[in-house]
Copies of this chain bind each other. A is one copy, B any other.
């Protein structure tokens, strides 16, 4: 894959993505930069490995599913993505690292952001001895009304 951006914007994005990856301590390889662009250039996203891989294939990005899995895990470990706590087997990641929570649509397994401002939790008990709170995940499960 030669570096042939279609326009200045995508050139700029790729450069930013390289920087971003370098700052996160990762070598900005072609696949990582391309996946990073897919993930971060259009605002908040909720993806699983399979979906991101399909999308990469559509965009003619040569990347294997195994590399997508590895890359998502690396991005999460580097603090670029957060993993979402969900019922079920599939692992989802969220590109929005800010403190916010989710709606989960049960029928089609879709995730939606809940604006942070709206939600607040009170009365979280003291963490047990020697522990600290690493984060609070809230999922509001939604289903179709009067089914």
Q: Please report A residues at the B interface, Cβ cutoff 8 Å.
A: 83-89, 91, 103-106, 112, 114-115, 118-125, 127-128, 130-145
User: Looking at chain A's contact residues, is the secondary structure mostly helix, strand, loop, or mixed?
Assistant: strand
A141 touches B136 (CB 8 A): yes
Report Cα–Cα, A128/B103, bound state, in Å. Answer: 10
Instruction: Let me know if A131 and B144 touch, CB within 8 A.
Output: yes
Q: A85-B86, A87-B91, A120-B122 are in contact. List 14 more A-B contacts (CB 8 A).
A: A85-B104, A87-B137, A103-B128, A114-B125, A119-B124, A119-B125, A130-B144, A131-B144, A132-B143, A132-B145, A134-B141, A134-B142, A134-B143, A137-B140
Contact of A123 among B119, B127, B144 (CB under 8 A): B119
**How far is A85 from B131 in the complex, measured between Cα atoms in Å?**
21
User: How far is the CB of A88 from the nearest CB of chain B, in Å?
Assistant: 7
Measured CA separation A4–B138 after assembly (Å): 45
Which residue of B is nearest A116, CB measured?
B123
- 24 A-B pairs whose Cβ atoms sit less than 8 Å apart in the complex: A83-B87, A85-B86, A85-B137, A87-B91, A89-B91, A106-B134, A118-B123, A119-B121, A119-B124, A120-B121, A121-B121, A121-B138, A122-B122, A127-B142, A131-B142, A131-B144, A132-B142, A132-B144, A133-B141, A136-B138, A136-B139, A137-B139, A137-B140, A138-B138
